[in-house]
Structures are given as C-alpha cells and as structure tokens.
Amino acid sequence: MKKLLIIGYVWPEPNSSAAGSRMMQLIHFFQSQHYQITFASPAQQTEHMVDLTTLNIAVENIQLNCTSFDDFIAELQPSAVMFDRFMMEEQFGWRVSEQCPKAIKILDTEDLFSLRNARHQAYKQKLAMTEDDLLTSEMAKREVASIFRSDVSLMISKVEVELLHRLFKVDKGLIHYCPFMLSQAQLTQQNPTYQQRNDFMVIGNFRHAPNWDAVLWLKQQIWPLIRKQLPSVKLNVYGAYPPPKATDLHDEKSGFLVKGWVDDAVLAMQNAKVCLAPLRFGAGIKGKLAEAMYCQTPSVTTDIGIESMQTELAWPGTVANDPQAIADAAVKLYQDQHAWQAASDLGQQNAQLMYQQKAILAKLADCLTELEANIEQHRKANFIGGMLNHHHHKSTQYMAQWIDVKTQLKALTEGESE
C-alpha cells in the first residue's frame, strides 16, 4: 500500500475554516487512491480539530529543528509527502529529501500567502498593492522558492496560477489547479425558501486577518446603514476563536450579534437570507462564498471576495466596494424576493460549474499518476528547483543542526544543575 505523510501547519478543523475543509477533502481523496495516511504537525492540538484516528489515519506530533523527525520519517518511508503551506516545506523539506529521496513532494498552498500578506500591508498603508510589492517581498521569495522545490503545488485560485506563471516564471508542470471539491449531494441539496429564512450572516475564523477586518468594517460603517433601512433585522456573526475585541462588539440593541463558534455552518448559512462578506484584502478563494452558493444564499461581497470564483454567469448576489453600495445591495436582496430568487438560483448553478468533485479529483489523480511514473525526468526538467533544494537544504540543515545541538546542551546543563 502507498503511504502519504501530511505535514500540517495546523491540525485540520473543517468547521473552523475553509483551509480545514479543503484539507479534509484532500485526505478523503488520498484515501480513495488507497494511500495509508499519517498526519503529523508541530502545532498544538485544538478543541475543534477532527479526530483523525476515527478515519484510520495515524497521528504524530513532531518537533521543529529536531533530529527525531529524521528517525520518524526514515522508519515511515512514505511514497509521498504533502506539506500544508510553504512554511512546513521550509522546515521539513530538506529532511524529507535526505531520508526519503524518492518520495513525491506535494505543496498545498491553500492560498498564495505572500499575495495575501502584500495586500494586507498595502491596505494598512492605504495604498493599492502593485506587482513590484510582490517582486520585492521576502515572503514571496520564500514561498515561490518552496513552490520550485516541490514536485507539484496545488493551487486553489486560477488568478494565483496565472500570477505564478507570468510574474514568477514558474513552469506549468510544477502547478496543478485544484479548487474546492463539492460532492453531488452538496451541489444538488434542497435548501430553504425565501420565506423560510431570516436575517443576515457573516462567517469566518477570527484568527484570519481579512475576516476580522470585515467584521469591524461591518460594525463601524456598513451595518448601521443597513439597520437604518431595515430597523428590525439582525446580523449573526459566526466564526471560530473570537477574541475579546470581537465579542465586545456584540450589541443586542443594534442587532449585531457576535455568536462565535457555530456547530453547523451549513445550517446557519441555509437559515440566513443574505450572506455578507465585505473583504478588503485577502487571497485564494473563499469557503464562505462557495458555501453560500451551494446553500443558495445570495451574497454581497467585494472584488477581493469574487476573485477566481466567477463563471460566465452573473455573481449570485451583488459585488460592491463601498459601505453605502454594500448596504443598499444587501437591503435590496433582503426585501426583493424576485432579486433574491434569481441570485439564489445562480448560486447553485455557479457552484456546479466550478466545484464538481468528481471532475476535479480525476484530474488530480491523473497528475499524481504521471508524477509517479516520471518523477526522475520531472525533477531533471526543474533545474531551478534542484538548485534551490541544494542550497536551501544545506543552509537549513546547518541551522537546524545548530539549534538541535543547542537544545541538547541546554537539556544537559539543566540536568546537571538539578
């Protein structure tokens, strides 16, 4: 049986974030391909993480900059390793290559982290991000280097695929477009009608900066404009890990209800009449908007929100970028049943065009089969990746060895002093 090691930046929480949902989609895919899976992470385990052992997945806690990982992976000998975001490839990629040189190295980017960060920095400075910001970004250099060092990188956004090809000259053979994957049951599910729904909702993990900014923008500028026109409606604010600064925004009088964690995000989305997603920066594609589509909940979002989520059909709701336009669009969808129904129908149609699980998984399976059959030639053709692997592995190796020795010496010294 083939073995897959997933090195997670965090433990998967599908009810907390789109990244967690996507990780579980990939896990189910690899299980369907008859991989025996081990999930390892240096992160602390959390209350909302999936119990992977119930899915027959082995779980391992690993340490950064520690030779114990070498012993662990040398014994496991996986045929493929998937890094959850580029930081895990930076930390463990050279160790994987050293102990398991034949293992296929897959990078799951979730979104292009450097793009999201550059947009965030530009937003804080009240500037528009330029491509020069990316070209001079240390984070972009690290992330793109990680993409070159990997055998294939899974990209969730077509915009980011094009950016990597055009701006960073990443060969198409190193990138595989793999968006959200929705089952036929999800894409054709029966959803509540206009009359059966009430109120607005916004959802997103509060640890994700774009989500917190959206909630704050809603509270300070957008929601008062909506309530002025609809004085009795409520906004339910959902999301994992709300900090005190978020829960402090809760206000019964104005209908701004910070509810935090929700056990069933799909049910919450189905019960809402309109989903609000006023995102001012970010990257990738948005799980909340894909969910709104297949739940047939019209959404009001921004240009950032719809990036790489458009089809030839109209957006299933409204796209606006200033508070008054967002508020007016939200009110119209809420009050006008005809406009609401048209957007609701478009949601399911758009989702079916973009996120058919069967077709996406078939292409991913073909990609991995071709890699397995031609891995040596594939790597020979990726000279830049080979060069970066050589230099990065050496520099990271020496730094990691220095940290490991330092840690051992500290432990010995403390032991002697007791």
399 has pLDDT over 70 = no
Q: 87, 127, 107, 110: which is closest to 281 by C-alpha? A: 127
pLDDT in the model for residue 417: 45
Chain-centre distance of CA 398, in angstroms? 31
317-319 and 274-277: which strand pairing?
unpaired
Any idea where the domains of the chain sit in the sequence?
2-181+358-417, 188-354
Residue 96: other Cβ atoms inside 10 A:
21
Annotate the chain with three-state secondary structure. Answer: CEEEEEECCCCCCCCCCHHHHHHHHHHHHHHHCCEEEEEEECCCCCCCCCCHHHHCCEEEECCCCCCHHHHHHHHHCCCEEEEECHHHHHHHHHHHHHHCCCCEEEEECCCCHHHHHHHHHHHHCCCCCCHHHHHCCHHHHHHHHHHHHCCEEEECCHHHHHHHHHCCCCCHHHEEECCCCECHHHHCCCCCCCCCCCCEEEECCCCCHHHHHHHHHHHHHHHHHHHHHCCCCCEEEECCCCCHHHHCCCECCCCEEEEECCCCHHHHHHHCCEEEECCCCCCCCCHHHHHHHHCCCCEEECHHHHCCCCCCCCCCEEECCCHHHHHHHHHHHHHCHHHHHHHHHHHHHHHHHHCEHHHHHHHHHHHHHHHHHCHHHHHHHCHHHHHHHHHHHHHHHHHHHHHHHHHHHHHHHHHHHC
What is the rounded distance in angstroms from the CA atom of residue 262 to the CA atom of residue 244?
17
* CA–CA distances in Å: residue 107 to residues 80, 94, 180, 193, 228: 11, 14, 16, 41, 47
Question: Sorting pLDDT into bands at 50, 70 and 90, what band is 225?
Answer: very high
Q: Crossing angle of helices 113-124/209-217, nearest 10°?
A: 40
Question: Sorting pLDDT into bands at 50, 70 and 90, what band is 402?
Answer: low
Q: Do domains 2-181+358-417 and 188-354 have the same CATH topology?
A: yes
CATH for 2-181+358-417, among 3.30.70.560, 2.30.42.10, 3.30.930.10, 3.40.50.2000? 3.40.50.2000
pLDDT in the model for residue 411: 53
412 has pLDDT over 60 = no
Residue found by looking up tokens 């895919």 in the block: 29
- CA angle centred on 10, ends 360 and 284, rounded to 5°: 45
Q: 304, 299, 391: which is closest to 350 by C-alpha? A: 299
414 has pLDDT over 70 = no
pLDDT in the model for residue 16: 87
What is the rounded distance in angstroms from the CA atom of residue 250 to the CA atom of residue 390?
53
Residue found by looking up tokens 């508020």 in the block: 327
pLDDT in the model for residue 1: 84
Task: Return the CATH fold of 188-354.
Answer: Rossmann fold (3.40.50)
405 has pLDDT over 70 = no
394 has pLDDT over 70 = no
Stretch 167-176: mean pLDDT: 96
Task: Quick: pLDDT tens for 366-384.
Answer: 999 999 999 999 999 999 9
Stretch 272-286: mean pLDDT: 97
Percent of the chain, pLDDT > 90?
A: 89
Stretch 220-229: mean pLDDT: 98
pLDDT in the model for residue 181: 95
Task: Quick: pLDDT tens for 70-121.
Answer: 999 999 999 999 999 999 999 999 999 999 999 999 999 989 999 999 999 9
Question: Sorting pLDDT into bands at 50, 70 and 90, what band is 395?
Answer: low
- CA angle centred on 221, ends 219 and 223, rounded to 5°: 55
Among 142-146, 215-219, 243-247, 392-396, the minimum mean pLDDT is found in 392-396
What is the rounded distance in angstroms from the CA atom of residue 304 to the CA atom of residue 307?
5
Task: Quick: pLDDT tens for 297-312.
Answer: 999 999 999 999 999 9
What is the rounded distance in angstroms from the CA atom of residue 262 to the CA atom of residue 373?
44
pLDDT in the model for residue 416: 47
Q: 90, 176, 172, 209: which is closest to 138 by C-alpha? A: 90
Q: Which residue has the higher pLDDT, 47 or 119?
A: 119
Q: Is 373 exposed, middle or buried (0-12, 13-18, 19+ CB in 10 A)?
A: exposed
Identity of the residue numbered 123: Y
Residue 194: other Cβ atoms inside 10 A:
15
Task: Quick: pLDDT tens for 323-368.
Answer: 999 999 999 999 999 999 999 999 999 999 999 999 999 999 999 9
Tokens of 310: 């458009």
Stretch 3-18: mean pLDDT: 94
Question: Sorting pLDDT into bands at 50, 70 and 90, what band is 398?
Answer: low
pTM over 0.75: yes
Chain-centre distance of CA 345, in angstroms? 26
